[in-house]
Homo-oligomer: A and B are copies of this chain.
Amino acid sequence: MKIALLGSGNVATHLSKALIKAGYPVMQVWSRKENNAIDLALQIGANSISDCKEIKDSIDVVILAVTDDAIENVASQIPQKEGRLVLHTSGTTPLNVLEKYFDSCGVLYPLQTFSKTADLDFQTIPICIEANNIKAENQLELIAGKISSKVEKLDSPSRAILHISAVFACNFTNYFYSVAQELLEGVQLNFDLLRPLIQETADKAMLNLPFEVQTGPAKRNDQLTMNKHLALLKDNSYLQGLYSSISQGIVKMYQPNLGGE
């Protein structure tokens, strides 16, 4: 099963390495940014191409790991070939964007945050798959099962909700780490101070449902502390608004169970 990879970002980079490790030859790499395609192709021993039309007839699977807004345009440039499977890797883009162009298509959505620097064990990364026919689904299940031990069949609407939940649990969470970092810098404190807390917060969510291990002033409906915090954030109306809105959400979530020391 020969693969062509379209894209050269974090997902494309990590996914191509995982595919090769699993024994799938990635033969061709294309990217909107040609230099990135050349770099990635060099790293993984593939050929870079400057135009999607150069995808060879011998390619069995084409994987689009490009930004969501580029998927349809790139898809429209891929040469049609009977029996070829075309996949995208997006959480939010529905499968039917590809169905317009290809008889056999699917989605391979790895649920992880990919950075250029971090090395990842793909085997532990959940991969959500969807295909437009049973043959494509079997093919996709085989590929996904070789690179990860956690393969989940998921339709497009559920995948979109999963993607939103990942934005909250990962992207927004990391942004709040950054907000904390900025607040600490304002009083010349090192981010190191917060690292054990961040680690423990994530560790608790590995063993518990987060609802059960919430802590903090809002959980206790400790209005005194929340008001002090809001007063201290008075010069930053954006953070003050966030603090207030999220605290209200937490108070509401736990209101029926309020009490405790």
Contact = CB atoms under 8 A, between A and B. Distances in A.
Given A214-B171, A224-B68, A249-B242, A199 B202 contact: yes
Task: Tell me if A's interface is mostly helix, strand, loop or mixed.
Answer: helix
Contacts of A42: none
Contacts of A113: 197, 200-201, 204, 213, 215-216
A187 B128 CA distance: 14
B169 A180 contact: yes
B67 A261 contact: yes
A32, A184, A233: which has the most chain B beta carbons within 10 Å?
A184
B184 A216 contact: no
Contacts of A184: 161-162, 165
Contacts of A193: 111, 126, 152, 162
Interface of A: 7-10, 31-33, 36, 66-69, 92, 111-115, 117-118, 120, 124-126, 150, 152, 154, 157-158, 160-181, 183-184, 186-189, 191, 193-211, 213-220, 222-225, 228-229, 232-233, 238, 241-243, 245-246, 249-250, 253, 260-261
A115 B204 CA distance: 9
**Number of identical protomers:** 2
A87 to B, nearest CB: 17
A191 B176 contact: no
B68 A225 contact: yes
A195 B246 CA distance: 22
A225 B161 contact: no
A259 to B, nearest CB: 10
15 contacts: A8-B261, A9-B260, A69-B224, A113-B204, A115-B215, A118-B200, A125-B196, A126-B196, A152-B193, A158-B189, A169-B198, A174-B205, A178-B211, A178-B253, A180-B210
